[in-house]
A and B are shown apart, each in its own frame.
Chain A
């Protein structure tokens, strides 16, 4: 099943769900329970749960097969992979650690086959983890991250009641305490970006300051700056052993 991590009303998620014509349950998670309960920190993230209700892989980056991607998307992803490989090759001699991080992202193409392997072999699949492995490889969570989640919960509530300034203050605290939580950042950036874009179908994908109005941007960072400075292996870390 799919879960949309969007605080706004269901109409924000509706066009995407309706376009997908899902035959599985498609649900809404306006309070980001997936972050608190499962350790989701980015999208897309996938959790595997077996027939008895035991998690066999904790939240990790994962994708559907790309067979249905439109040609422009496939070509964009291929171009990006080629650029990353070129960058990694360039860094290899001077900064091998960075080169490894650039190459360390989850292998998109291998993910659907891993799911199929588990569907066919269950607990015998080499991708199914033991309970101890599941707990140990779930997101790390020191007390600061609990506080970050609390600030994020307050921010969502205050934003929904129109208390924008206090909401933004709590968003900033959430980002400071959970700097690696991309859903906390992208949710907040998209709310402000959508305002600036005046809504519209793609307003929520506007997650950077409007050129010329940078001083109005209420956050220390934005999608282009943060994602640009984050190697692929940190943005979608490789957890699948392929």
Chain B
């Protein structure tokens, strides 16, 4: 997730990372991580093992940061519940993985290289 400010609200964090901020903490699938001090980007990212990397070495004005995916469990998946995936097709039509519920899905990653 790319951000131009480290002040972020919980809704934007959910949209960008898939982690929803609930009363019991930051939650994804069937996993919740308590946030004793409530939500802010830096402390929540730290608890979830998400790296925050500035776009430039200019500490005063890096202009942009990237927040990496969670690493708190040491595995790419914290839950077997498939995360939401929102993508577009060639014509720009939006598609959501959750729209496939009720069918078996084979998600095949390829690339033109």
Contacts and interface: CB of A to CB of B under 8 A. Distances in A.
B71 A141 contact: yes
Given A43-B110, A51-B101, A134 B68 contact: no
Nearest to B62: A154
Interface in A12-40: 12-17, 25-29, 33-34, 36-40
A157 to B, nearest CB: 6
Interface residues of A, number: 79
Contacts of B1: 153
B104 A51 contact: yes
Interface in B55-108: 55-56, 64-71, 73-83, 85, 87-90, 92, 95, 97-98, 100-108
Interface residues on B, range: 35 or more
Given A3-B107, A33-B85, A37-B18, A135 B112 contact: no
Interface string B6-48: 0000000000001000000000000000000000000000000
A29 B112 contact: no
Contact of A49 (B74, B82, B111, B112): B82
A43 B109 contact: yes
A51 B104 CA distance: 5
Contacts of B2: 153-154, 157
B51 A37 contact: no
Given A28-B90, A38-B107, A204 B113 contact: yes
Nearest to A129: B80
Nearest to A13: B112
Interface stretch (A81-89, A96-104, A183-191): A183-191
Contacts of A145: 68, 71
Contacts of A142: 71, 74
A29 B16 CA distance: 15
B70 A47 contact: no
A179 interface: no
B76 A141 contact: yes
A85 B75 CA distance: 32
Given A43-B110, A55-B80, A27 B75 contact: no
A205 interface: yes
Contacts of A150: 51-53, 65-68
A27 B66 CA distance: 24
Contacts of A205: 113
A109 interface: no
A199 to B, nearest CB: 12
Contacts of B82: 47, 49, 53-55
B75 A140 contact: yes
A207 B87 contact: no
Given A39-B75, A46-B108, A135-B73, 7 more contacts: A3-B107, A3-B108, A14-B90, A25-B89, A25-B95, A37-B85, A154-B64
20 contacts: A2-B109, A3-B108, A3-B110, A13-B112, A14-B90, A29-B109, A34-B109, A39-B76, A40-B109, A45-B109, A47-B107, A47-B109, A54-B81, A58-B77, A141-B74, A149-B66, A150-B66, A153-B1, A154-B53, A186-B111
Which 5 residue pairs are nearest across A and B when measured between Cβ atoms? A39-B76, A146-B68, A131-B80, A190-B113, A147-B51
